[in-house]
Chain A
Amino acid sequence: MNVLVVDDEADTESLFRQRFRKELKAGTLSLEFAPSAESALEFLERGTADLVLVLSDINLPGMCGIELLRQIKERYAHTAVYMIAPFNDEARSAEVERAGAAALLTKPLDFDELKRMMSALCP
């Protein structure tokens, strides 16, 4: 499974790679990282095969997370998008859901739950 993680925090990659070391070692997962919405969209345009999931932080420099979400949903409707926010509230979850996100996750991430959700995506 191919997953794109969009987050401006540099250490997010180090974190994810350690968290998913088993899967990565096993080759069941491949992770890509983009520091901004724009670079994420560029990546998507390059058409890397089988991007199943985009995990994006809501707060991004430049284009914000919600806009990225919309763009992805518009152009790459088959790609699921999980949004990550520092906290959750009804307004946000409604908005996110409206924009087409499959889920809204809050930091700190529950990686076990994430792994479960991801495995559900890819039978």
Chain B
Amino acid sequence: MHVKDDKEVLGEDAARATARRLRNQNNALVQLSKITISGGADAESALRDIVEVAARTLQCERVSVWKYGPKDESLRCAVLYELSKDTFTQSEDLRRTEYPHYFEALRVEHRIVAHDALNDPRTREFRDGYLIPLGITSMLDVPIQEGTRVLGVLCNEHVGTARTWVSDEENFASAIANLVSIVMAASRRALKAEQPLQLRDAFQTMVEHSQDIMAVIDEEGRITYVTPSVHRVLGYRTEDLVGNASSEYVHPDDLPALQQAYRRPRRADEAAPVVTCRVRHKEGTWRYFETAGNRLHVTAGVPGIVLSFRDVTERKLWERAIRESERRNSAVIDNAMDAYLAMNASGMIIGWNTQAEAMFGWRREKVLGQRLSSIILPESQRQAHEHGRERFLETGEGRLMNRRIEMTALHRDGREFPVELSMTHVRIGDSHTFSAFIRDISERRAAERALQESEERFRILVEHAPEAIVVIDAESALFVDSNNNAQRMFGYDAEEMRRVGPREVTSAKDLAGQTVESLVQERLKRALEGGALKFEITCQHKSGRTFPAEVRLVRLPATGRKLVRGSVTDISERRWAQKLHQDYSRTLEEQVAQRTRELEEKNAELHQALEKLKDTQRQLITQEKMASLGVLTAGIAHEIKNPLNFVNNFAELTVELIHELRALLNPEGATTGEIEALLRDIEQNAVKIHDHGKRADRIVRGMLQHSRSEHMRQITDINALVDEYVKLAYHGLRARDASFNIRLDLQYDEQIGSIPVVPQDLSRVVLNIVNNGCYAAHQKRKALGADFHPILTVRTRDAGEYVEIRVRDNGPGIPPEIRDSIFNPFFTTKPVGEGTGLGLSICYDIIVREHLGELIVDTEPGAFTEFAIALPRKPPQRTRQKS
């Protein structure tokens, strides 16, 4: 057993309602077919009948007929019937000037179907003055036409809750309007020809051209009349059918129901049921029809039943197909992941799947038949929803139709949540079905929000990044995104940026041989391959101005599109700074090079000068050395020359003498005395040669001794040293000369201690000076005789930083004219052979140069001579010098 589902149930209700209406309409038309018009008064009354029937059939409060005035500028009311009052009244003329929209609508559309007359733009003009006062909410205006000409309009005005005019009502109104037109025409003809006109005839004409098939069946079920439309619909010609049994054409399964409907005799006004039956097309296919019929009045002259057949094949097939498909889909729908809802034209829920139960918290049986907006929408949105539905039904326009929209839904427990829905609308005949698939997008919303926030943060970062950042679609080579800096850098606004790409902002300048195109492609390709590129390039502003930039490209993680992120830094300043730096460096380098050159020159000069100076110094030193040496050398030369002179001479002479001797030893004979003399001379000469040679030797040695390298200092006890060499000198002198005698007066300061001196050299000094003193005193004694007592006083003294040694003789003193010469090398007052004369000069060198001390002489001619030696206790360090 087939249990009807909701749709079937509701669909059947709708079908039943439609059937009822059709029946009523047909009855009405049949009823009106009896009208006979024979005159003007008949016309008027015919019109009244027509509008009254129309009002009753349509259940419409006010039905009126209006005729156009001259030039269609106005409408005059011909008749007006009010249903509830059951009265005929009049209405005022309508002028185009007052109701321009209405007149225009009539002119253009002819028919005005205004479900909501108050708001419909075509009828709104009547709102305040007419509709509201009379309570009219819906209007159905159809034109009264004769041929193509519009004579006027049939107005059906509904009072009460606004109604939705359905198509059969429209058709019915049209039929009524046609009758009115016929009546009007007939009345004109009748007026002329005074020939009564059977409306029936007109009706017949009308009927013959109707879409539906009308047939008259006699008592035996034979077809006595059928409208020509049968040909179009079923393929038969009328003559094929007339006279045949109607049962031949009706489907055997449906025949019983049909016969049943019309078997029982009915009262004339009793409506027959609408039966759906299948009728065979001439070609053999079955077509579905809804039939409604009535028994004809016997007085009509046409016995039998008149039936109207409406072809509902298409609809039936559609319905079946839909039902099938819906049966197929219901399982799918029922188990779909999304919630599925369906609502009818009135906004009632007719579909509700399992998911909808879960999403909204309502069981199916609870919501079927309830108003959808009340169940799933928050209160604030219900009104808008209802309006939208009505508007759609009215205008066919729906904001929500056939697209995915987001809205807020309501759970049974009062909680609101975001959903996404897609709604479609299906109309089958008069039944509207709105279907919607709904998805709870709370989670998605949250994720979207999070993503949005993250994107926002990212965007802020990018926007405020100091660099210019762009995102390039590698395939289209366009910028799909760019931050403010990038836009500013290249001179395009956000919109323009999306229409350009790397090609447009790369300058062809400075590209050696490569095109911009190939360069861009190559770089993008490399970036996509996974490289992170960095390179410098000349970019181009929108204005054409070029500037150098550093570009970094990196591929963005795969998002389906091939995207490359680029950051661009204008390096004009850097370049300029680099150039400046280079220039500066170069200048600096040049300057430095120049400076270096100058310095080198200077250096060379200085070097030269230094060399010269050194040379000069060396020369000077040499000269000084030479000078002192010169003195020395002169002295030496002189000194050596003399003995050497003798050596030579005596050697020569010796040779000569030997010759002479030889001569003498000749046979001629020589005296012994002469030979003896010669031999004596030769002997002497040899001795002299020897002596002079030794003399020369001594001189040289003395000189060498003086110029030998320095001796080392040693801490020496001064008193001891002085004492030793004083005594040495004394004994030495006494040994040489027996007559030599002198008194020694020795006074040593015990505080002196030891100081660093060169002992060999200091001892030589002491020896020398003591010798001189002894010699001098001895000379004086030799001159003055025994009464003179030579005394030599030797004193040492501690003078703080210095140590003093004084040697004083009471000899003849030094005459003033030679006093300054005594320290000169080779200066001597002694006879030849006694001393070299180097003594005091060497003493001076030793004391002053070597020991950094002082050697001073004090003398009084005839009285004394005193030599004072001062030696520093701590001689300062000085570099050794070869003297």
Among A10-18, A47-55, A95-103, the one that faces the other chain is: A10-18
Residues of A close to B649: CB separation below 8 A: 15, 19, 108
In contact, A107 and B645 (Cβ under 8 angstroms): yes
8 Å CB interface, A1-23 against B? 8-11, 14-15, 18-19
Q: B689-724 interface mask toward A, CB cutoff 8 Å, 1 = contact, 0 = none?
A: 000100000000000000000000000000000000
- A interface bracket (residues with beta carbon within 8 Å of B): 10 to 19
Knowing A9-B642, A107-B645 touch, does A61 contact B831 (C-beta < 8 A)? yes
Knowing A8-B832, A108-B649 touch, does A14 contact B688 (C-beta < 8 A)? yes
In contact, B832 and A18 (Cβ under 8 angstroms): no
In contact, A19 and B653 (Cβ under 8 angstroms): yes
Residues of A close to B645: CB separation below 8 A: 107-108
Residue of A nearest to B828 (CB): A61
8 Å CB interface, A59-95 against B? 59, 61, 86-87
Residue of A nearest to B681 (CB): A18
Residues of A close to B692: CB separation below 8 A: 11
Residue of B nearest to A19 (CB): B653
Query: Smallest Cβ distance from A87 to chain B, in angstroms?
Result: 8
Residue of A nearest to B650 (CB): A15
Query: Smallest Cβ distance from A86 to chain B, in angstroms?
Result: 5
Residues of B close to A108: CB separation below 8 A: 641, 645, 648-649
Knowing A19-B653, A61-B831 touch, does A11 contact B641 (C-beta < 8 A)? no
In contact, B637 and A86 (Cβ under 8 angstroms): yes
8 Å CB interface, B810-858 against A? 829, 831-832
In contact, B646 and A86 (Cβ under 8 angstroms): no
Residue of A nearest to B656 (CB): A18
Residues of B close to A86: CB separation below 8 A: 637-638, 641-642
Residues of B close to A18: CB separation below 8 A: 653, 657, 681, 685
Residues of A close to B638: CB separation below 8 A: 59, 86
Interface SS majority for chain B: helix
Residue of A nearest to B646 (CB): A11
In contact, A9 and B832 (Cβ under 8 angstroms): yes
Tell me, in angstroms, the Cα distance from A111 to B676 when the chains sit together: 25
Tell me, in angstroms, the Cα distance from A56 to B300 when the chains sit together: 209
In contact, A107 and B688 (Cβ under 8 angstroms): no
- B interface bracket (residues with beta carbon within 8 Å of A): 10 to 19
**Interface presence of B603 (CB below 8 A):** no
**Interface presence of B87 (CB below 8 A):** no
In contact, A107 and B642 (Cβ under 8 angstroms): yes
Query: Smallest Cβ distance from B799 to chain A, in angstroms?
Result: 38
Tell me, in angstroms, the Cα distance from A8 to B637 when the chains sit together: 17
**Interface presence of B167 (CB below 8 A):** no
Tell me, in angstroms, the Cα distance from A108 to B645 when the chains sit together: 6
In contact, A11 and B688 (Cβ under 8 angstroms): yes
Knowing A11-B646, A15-B649, A15-B650 touch, does A107 contact B831 (C-beta < 8 A)? no
Query: Smallest Cβ distance from A48 to chain B, in angstroms?
Result: 25
Residues of A close to B684: CB separation below 8 A: 14
In contact, A15 and B637 (Cβ under 8 angstroms): no
In contact, B832 and A107 (Cβ under 8 angstroms): no
Residues of B close to A107: CB separation below 8 A: 641-642, 645
Tell me, in angstroms, the Cα distance from A108 to B642 when the chains sit together: 8
Residues of A close to B650: CB separation below 8 A: 11, 15
Query: Smallest Cβ distance from A6 to chain B, in angstroms?
Result: 14
Q: B611-643 interface mask toward A, CB cutoff 8 Å, 1 = contact, 0 = none?
A: 000000000000000000000000001100110
Q: B216-257 interface mask toward A, CB cutoff 8 Å, 1 = contact, 0 = none?
A: 000000000000000000000000000000000000000000
Tell me, in angstroms, the Cα distance from A94 to B97 when the chains sit together: 162
Tell me, in angstroms, the Cα distance from A10 to B645 when the chains sit together: 13
Residues of A close to B642: CB separation below 8 A: 9, 86, 107
Residue of B nearest to A57 (CB): B642
Residues of A close to B681: CB separation below 8 A: 18
Of the candidates A8, A19, A59, A107, the one having the most CB atoms from chain B within 10 angstroms of its own CB is A107
Residue of A nearest to B829 (CB): A61
Residues of A close to B831: CB separation below 8 A: 8, 61
Residues of B close to A10: CB separation below 8 A: 832
Tell me, in angstroms, the Cα distance from A8 to B828 when the chains sit together: 13
Q: B646-683 interface mask toward A, CB cutoff 8 Å, 1 = contact, 0 = none?
A: 10111001000100000000000000000000000100
Knowing A8-B832, A9-B832, A61-B831 touch, does A15 contact B641 (C-beta < 8 A)? no
Query: Smallest Cβ distance from A63 to chain B, in angstroms?
Result: 11
Tell me, in angstroms, the Cα distance from A13 to B645 when the chains sit together: 14
Tell me, in angstroms, the Cα distance from A9 to B657 when the chains sit together: 22
Q: B414-432 interface mask toward A, CB cutoff 8 Å, 1 = contact, 0 = none?
A: 0000000000000000000
Tell me, in angstroms, the Cα distance from A19 to B681 when the chains sit together: 12
Of the candidates B646, B657, B829, the one having the most CB atoms from chain A within 10 angstroms of its own CB is B646
Query: Smallest Cβ distance from A67 to chain B, in angstroms?
Result: 12
Query: Smallest Cβ distance from A106 to chain B, in angstroms?
Result: 10
Residues of A close to B653: CB separation below 8 A: 15, 18-19
Query: Smallest Cβ distance from B832 to chain A, in angstroms?
Result: 6
Of the candidates B649, B688, B692, B832, the one having the most CB atoms from chain A within 10 angstroms of its own CB is B649
Query: Smallest Cβ distance from B619 to chain A, in angstroms?
Result: 22
Q: B149-177 interface mask toward A, CB cutoff 8 Å, 1 = contact, 0 = none?
A: 00000000000000000000000000000
Residue of A nearest to B660 (CB): A21
Query: Smallest Cβ distance from A69 to chain B, in angstroms?
Result: 19
Residue of B nearest to A111 (CB): B649
Tell me, in angstroms, the Cα distance from A8 to B642 when the chains sit together: 11
Tell me, in angstroms, the Cα distance from A11 to B644 when the chains sit together: 12
Residue of B nearest to A16 (CB): B649
Residue of B nearest to A106 (CB): B641
Query: Smallest Cβ distance from A1 to chain B, in angstroms?
Result: 22
Query: Smallest Cβ distance from A57 to chain B, in angstroms?
Result: 9
Query: Smallest Cβ distance from B692 to chain A, in angstroms?
Result: 8
Tell me, in angstroms, the Cα distance from A112 to B645 when the chains sit together: 16
Residues of B close to A15: CB separation below 8 A: 646, 649-650, 653
Residues of A close to B832: CB separation below 8 A: 8-10
19 A-B pairs, CB-CB below 8 angstroms?
A: A8-B832, A11-B646, A11-B650, A11-B692, A15-B646, A15-B650, A15-B653, A18-B681, A18-B685, A19-B653, A59-B638, A61-B831, A86-B638, A86-B641, A86-B642, A107-B642, A108-B645, A108-B648, A108-B649
Q: Which residues of B contact A (CB under 8 A)?
A: 637-638, 641-642, 645-646, 648-650, 653, 657, 681, 684-685, 688, 692, 829, 831-832
| 7 further A-B pairs in the complex, CB-CB below 8 A; given A9-B646, A86-B642 | A8-B832, A9-B832, A11-B650, A11-B688, A11-B692, A15-B649, A18-B681
Q: Which residues of A contact B (CB under 8 A)?
A: 8-11, 14-15, 18-19, 59, 61, 86-87, 107-108
Closest 4 CB pairs of A and B: A108-B645, A86-B638, A18-B653, A86-B641
